[in-house]
Amino acid sequence: MHDQPRGVLPTPGAARPSKGPGVSIPSRRRTVPLAVTAVTALTATALTAATPAQAQDEAPEQIVNGTFDDGHAPWWGTPNITLDSSSQQLCADIPGGTVNPWDVIIGQDDVPLVAGETYEYKFFATATPNKVIRALIQLPVDPWTQFMAANPEVSVSGNNYTYTFTAPTDLPNAQVAFQVGGSTDPWRLCLDDVSLRGGAEPEEYVPDTGPRVRVNQVGYLPKGPKNATLVTDATDPLPWKLYDSTGRVVVNGKTKPRGLDESSGQNVHSITFSRFVRPGTGYTLVTDGETSHPFEIGTSFYTQLRADALKFYYTQRSGIEIRDELRPGYGRPAGHVGVAPNQGDTAVPCQPGVCDYTLDVSGGWYDAGDHGKYVVNGGISVYQLMNEYERALRVHQGKPWLQRDGVLDLPESGNKLPDILDEVRWQQEFLLKMQVPAGQPLAGMAHHKIHDAAWTGLPLLPHLDSQLRELHPPSTAATLNLAATAAQAARVFKPYDAAFADRNLDAARTAWAAAKANPQMYADPADAIGGGPYDDVDVTDEFYWAAAELYLTTGEREFRDFVLASPHHTGDIFKEGAFGWQWTAPLGRMALATTPSDLPGWWQVRASVIEAADRYLATLKAHPYGIPYAPAGNIYDWGSNSIIVNNAIVIATAYDLTGKEKYRDGVLQTMDYIFGRNALNISYVTGYGTVSSQNQHSRWYARQLNPELPNPPRGTLAGGPNSSIQDPVAQRLLTGCAPQFCYVDDIESWATNELTINWNAPLSWIAAFIADQGRG
């Protein structure tokens, strides 16, 4: 019986290069051509304690003086350290108070590499106290492309570290570098037996997928569907048993063979135990000699997830101190408020040639694992949170009291405003600030984004970012995002703050007029230094969405007529991935279907959403892992987990419109995949399930790189499998992966393991939907 992918994909797309001293560039664009990165397979093969490694004899040594028996030339260090080899190890006292890993480096230049050769790289290291370091073999000049990169945690007692990698090109002058900066406190590092030899055997990365019985590791609702997947070579049905926490068999049955699942390359069987409804914890499924991870049958975990997924946004806030008593372990000073070394977001200039004014664009949410803030991604995120709030008020199953003031432990808690709207307002205020002021060229348009002038490295807390911040040119897409969210905010906040509601409606009208006057101002796809471009050359969908929201808020003829005339109003707009920041027409369609209005032809709008949900349900039923996602060619997209959850939102909306149980059940089955019923047997939500994503790409939730920092907070959704594996780590480990295996829980894998505000928004929405059901 095998648990490895049998199918492989074509060679993945090219990767974005590194910038600066080994700084990998995160990107949130799916279709931008990316430059090829010279990185191939790397595997950490051993971590053994205490005695220095012995050099190999079978291949020539590429490192000069790696044993330090007679001094340390030609090794060098940055000017802030003094190298000492008097103990026949290379030691240095590493200063505290540095920010970036490359602020302190020990290195050797002119190391030759031969294309196609597989190398074994070894070294012995001690650190007092324990520290995570960066071990690199890279280009010695910009763009500092990494041929090998590792982040070992070095201990006081010392360990041997061994890695293999294959050089993709000839390079006579590669650089070996140990980047050891970024620590608050001083510490001591010693190195010995640094060795690089060719002739090594390439080593295959094999993920630990645990038991072959894949279940929702968090839990199932008592009266909901309960499905699992068995990975097996067996072709006939197999017996299974469900055990309770006491070890008693409570139900049994036989598996259903499903054959080869193309998305994983695995031969699988399905298991269904929906007839068992008794709540409890510690249940396990046993079949084919394997025991699943334990799980619960209950309801409370979705109520908890609803809160946790929303609490994520407080720690993503810019421009405010994150109070440790509100989020224990996540407290930090305010980021980008103009306190050194920050240059701040309170008076941000434009990129050269864009404008001659500055804007206060403080506040808002950091978009992802970087310090950028983007209107288009921020727009869809804040929209989904407002939509979650509106839905709870509108549907008969809604539980708006779960959104009451005080449930999220925010600084604003106690102000008589539902906490979800406090969080929404923090972001919406930022979006309003991004609007070009009256009297300026392009007044009323919205700047597309604001971020650092150059990429920064990991880890880097927001308040330590010293980069110049810049406003980027206005775009039609950003302006229409502002129009849509401001129109929505006008009706959402009207019962609580009429002045803020009026301010939003004024901004929405102004943005709409500006977008109509400038309908083809597109973000530049090449504007990708220091932040993602978020480019989009079709904004007809944003026009439709904004018009829909303005109509629903105002009821005015201008917006109604625009909606009815748009081809998106009657066209088939629900794609393999229902919607996202680059495709927002379905947001308008679903808003029109669910928000009361006098729109002509409302029944046709409603029917189109239900029809789309039926297609996603059919995909789910046909999929051996039970997910509403089957992209063309089985090419999983960037952020596939968010696509899957957004598809589930369409299914959930059909349930709200019809009350039919099949749609509710489809939503629940979708979450089984997110919580562990997948090829990798991992829950993609941090802190949920026996094995969950812990190392999403982030500059401040960076425990993998610095043990003094936290992992992402509980309730954070990882991006998930991405067939294009654009980042160096994913390319090293995952080349040839079957779609569901194109994921690695590594902080440097920004293509598969990013966290973003627009991925947690659908997670929060769908958790609220399930929590609102009020029954098993």
Catalytic residue set:
370, 697, 745, 754
CA dist 16 and 546 (Å) reads: 33
CA angle 421, 427, 432 (to 5 degrees): 115
Ranges of H-type helices in 294-374 = 300-315
CA dist 101 and 336 (Å) reads: 21
Distances (CA, A) of 308 to 111, 302, 311, 685: 48, 10, 5, 10
Distances (CA, A) of 138 to 40, 78, 135, 146, 713: 12, 17, 10, 4, 33
526 contacts: CB under 8 Å, gap ≥ 6: 533
Cβ atoms of 645 and 305 closer than 8 Å: no
Cβ atoms of 271 and 254 closer than 8 Å: no
Tokens 């009350």 — which residue? 659
Token reading at 295: 């799980």
Ranges of H-type helices in 713-756 = 728-734
What is the torsional sign of CA 521, 524, 529, 534? Answer: positive
588-602 exposure pattern, b = at least 16 Cβ within 10 A, e = fewer: bbbbbbbbebebeee
Which element (helix H / strand E) includes 447? strand 446-447
Pick from 689, 624, 736, 741: nearest CA to 232: 624
Token reading at 336: 């980008």
CA dist 106 and 80 (Å) reads: 11
The crossing angle, in degrees rounded to 10, of helices 585-594 and 602-622 is: 120
CA dist 671 and 227 (Å) reads: 11
Q: How many CA atoms lie within 13 A of 259 on its CB side?
A: 3
3-state secondary structure 125-142: EEEECCEECEEEEECCCC
3-state secondary structure 377-402: HHHHHHHHHHHHHHHHHHCCCCCHHH
